[in-house]
Structure 1
């Protein structure tokens, strides 16, 4: 039986094409807002927060602007007013109905920020209506509780945001993403071997750095949500500062990397260190170098680093779905989760 999660993973190429068709023509609208601001503030929770991490690295690495992640409790719990003049506040919510995120975006506007919403909830969603500019993704209805296509289309919207803010990249790379995702859905790599390698393990460390740090965080979250693993998502820089001690024969490492870029050599070195210490290292992406250093690996997209996260998460989603079934868990409806989470 095909799960809803597996079906929705396969729908991502179409969802990405539709979203890019809708949002790429709006780059000039982003540019207009961007010209009125100098730095960015990302507002999100959960999976959307992981997408925001990608947005932060993209903006700082390729537009030269400072970008930070908001603490919504400053607005909703402490109720402090900040000076946000010159700030572009970008709120992300798949449903567009998470009250905390809507309230925080309204707070940011009241504090002087210009505002953008990224949501799959449509232009009539509360978040879209609260924003100066709404970038609505076209993932379609997502029935499985773990987010897949709503996450990748959020990343696509953030890539468009980066282009509108003047990112020094080739926008043609973005148009290649759906085809690369389609290839990964069909041929993810050593999926069965890694599923078996994780099936009897209580936990796993998932690590990446830079633009792909978002992928490590999102894969760790998915493994926690749908497989009930104690999965820790870390930058490999932080991992090496102490938590590397938890990696052993009972706690393997999943290491994520784009096929190019400044963080790839360090990821390969980390894989070699993990394997040398007697633990299992599983690669996601990273080309032949990471595949050779790891015990087994999942393929990554043939994309430059700035858009690689849009494809890198896909084999991780497939791994999560397959591992959940292997563990006897329904990945469509893991315990304790709902599609819309409201924070007190």
Structure 2
């Protein structure tokens, strides 16, 4: 069994551990971080690569609650953005050691910005320099971010809820139940993947989503590139409908995340229209009809705005399957090191 597959299979259990820590022994740290964010005049969420994708989900929870935040790639925040007085920076990084994150800490100090670190490495440069530390408290993945990505969305999302007053007393239990319910469906999802004609070795693939699930679309696009060594594109669902739909043709593959609360009927109609133009659609969402796509993953119930916590999981399994179909090793990076330690070249 590939290490990637092992990581996916263990993901719900690791996320339940992370959740229990954040709302248990880590609750004081969560409240401290929330106080820093609440007191700030400007709030930035940053990360790079998979961590930046996780930031999309965190941003969505903040903004659903009417709390505006800025999301910036760590390299862009380091080199392009001027941090104004009264800023707080929520920095997401599994390792806390990426070169852009390390350099960004110095910039934050000079600007007087408060730093909230969300990382799985408390003794990293990020963890040591932060004003508040939120550890993920989950096992590291073998190589590619699986649990680490999802744990960043989870802990960052809990911070967003703590800041915006939406961290209800039942949220933790509801999220834990959703993680367990998703885990129960793993065998069903894997069987559907094994039997599906959606997968081909070379078909171009587009991933589309809205809201917090946009994080999943971007992360799975990255997983296609890292694990399957296959090119892919990711868009907002709305953005795809304003020009890129010209790419629709026979054998194009589409991954479409459908939100329970946002334009559900419209996106089901979009899936139908894309299939009519010859594309094959993988649809992911809660309580989807069986004919929503060529490959359909129906998710268990989860609190509103939190679908992103579980809706990458079916596509993570899909990436492992495609890597085998393509004959590539999903456990090995060919060019990319685990931690990027310089800003030039590869």
Given the two structures, how large is their TM-score scaled by the length of structure 2?
Answer: 0.90
Which residue does 1:162 correspond to in 2? 160
Query: Aligned pair 1:337/2:336, yes or no?
Result: yes
Which residue does 2:44 correspond to in 1? 41
> Is the 8 Å Cα contact of residues 15 and 149 (structure 1) preserved in structure 2?
yes
Question: Cα deviation per residue 1:217-263 (whole Å; 9 max; x = unaligned)?
Answer: 111111111112221111011100111111221322110123x1113
> Is the 8 Å Cα contact of residues 207 and 254 (structure 2) preserved in structure 1?
yes
Query: Aligned pair 1:88/2:88, yes or no?
Result: yes
SS of corresponding position for 2:160: helix
Evaluate the alpha carbon distance shift between residue 224 and residue 106 of structure 1 in structure 2; reply closer, same or farther with a 3 A threshold. same
Which residue does 2:281 correspond to in 1? 281
Which residue does 1:264 correspond to in 2? 264
Question: Please, what is the CA RMSD of the aligned residues?
Answer: 2.0
Matches within 5 A, 1:307-322: 307-322=306-321
Q: How far apart in 2 are the matches of 1:81 and 1:217?
A: 26
Give 1:31 deviation, angstroms: 2.8
SS of corresponding position for 2:133: strand
Question: Cα deviation per residue 1:161-204 (whole Å; 9 max; x = unaligned)?
Answer: 1122024364243332431332243332621244x422233310
Give the number of aligned pairs: 335
Q: How far apart in 2 are the matches of 1:277 and 1:297?
A: 18
Give 1:272 deviation, angstroms: 1.1
Give 1:89 deviation, angstroms: 0.6
Question: Cα deviation per residue 1:82-141 (whole Å; 9 max; x = unaligned)?
Answer: 31x3332111111111121122133124213221111112x2111111111111112213
Which residue does 2:115 correspond to in 1? 115
> Is the 8 Å Cα contact of residues 12 and 180 (structure 2) preserved in structure 1?
yes
Which residue does 2:140 correspond to in 1? 141
Q: How far apart in 2 are the matches of 1:139 and 1:197?
A: 33
Query: Aligned pair 1:235/2:236, yes or no?
Result: yes
Query: Aligned pair 1:61/2:64, yes or no?
Result: yes
Give 1:71 deviation, angstroms: 4.4
Which residue does 1:217 correspond to in 2? 218
Give 1:283 deviation, angstroms: 0.6
Q: How far apart in 1 are the matches of 2:69 and 2:300?
A: 26
Matches within 5 A, 1:187-198: 187-188=188-189, 190-194=192-196, 196-198=197-199
Task: Tell which deviates more after alignment, 131-140 or 293-302.
Answer: 293-302
Which residue does 1:180 correspond to in 2? 181
Which residue does 1:324 correspond to in 2? 323
> Is the 8 Å Cα contact of residues 198 and 281 (structure 2) preserved in structure 1?
no
Which residue does 1:99 correspond to in 2? 99
